[in-house]
Structure 1
Amino acid sequence: MKYMHSTEGLTEQMLNGFFVDWPNPPNCATHLKLLKRSYKAIVAVNEEEDQVVGFITAISDGILSAYIPLLEVLPEYKQQGIGKELLHRMMKELDGIYMIDLMCDAELQSFYEKVGMAKSNGMILRNRENQSG
């Protein structure tokens, strides 16, 4: 598995199969656009198939706050540690930012708690030592 911290070289054709169970999922062109416009995007690529199999995005002001709106792994690649690796890599990218927030379904909260996030109305991480910027 190759992890890329850049969207350079990604194509729409590499993004098939995501947003499972979404009633109105974005198409591959929109998916590529959201990856490219994110503050940070990390993708997991199966190099043998030239296919993105997982991704995580963050939007941020780069100083005090960041929000992780999307973390997805293709169904056939789940339970292989890809999501965990994407999350760990993103947390390293966001190191030094005061608040890192995300929203998730209740059944996913334990996954995020393992990286130090806390339950709230959503899931949050507050690096108080970085509060003043």
Structure 2
Amino acid sequence: MDSISFHLDVISGVGSLYSGSVKSLRVTGSEGEMGIRYGHTPLLTIIKTGMVRLVDINNKEDEIYLAGGVLEVQPDNVTILADTALRADDIDEAKAQEAIKTAKKMLENHGSGDSDYAHALSRLADAMARLKVVEISRNRRR
């Protein structure tokens, strides 16, 4: 049985990145990863850095990198207000790889209780999430 679709809006500070009907999406909120389909219980949560994975009404999969923000779920409408939202084609892979190297160097130079250590971990997670979106998108095109 085909899923009933719902409307999804992904909006960042620079504008709308996605607006359309989808069958499902997966995103990581403050309580962990969640899957959302039509009729989901209303929900408001903070988004963790990572990606939103969606399946549109034509069964086409898409990934969008998200860096923070808020997710609001209503039974037939979902809105993501992201601090940063990027499609795989908009991610500079070389910069993300360089950010990983820089963050790893920072981690080597600071103790685990240091605020610089926490900042480096955050930067590392951000860069790794960007590369993951690029990798998934590249593999899907093959």
Report the TM-score range of the alignment, normalised by the length of the smaller protein. Answer: under 0.3
Larger radius of gyration: 2
Q: Which has the higher strand share?
A: 2
TM-score normalised by structure 1 residue count:
0.27
TM-score w.r.t. length of structure 2:
0.26
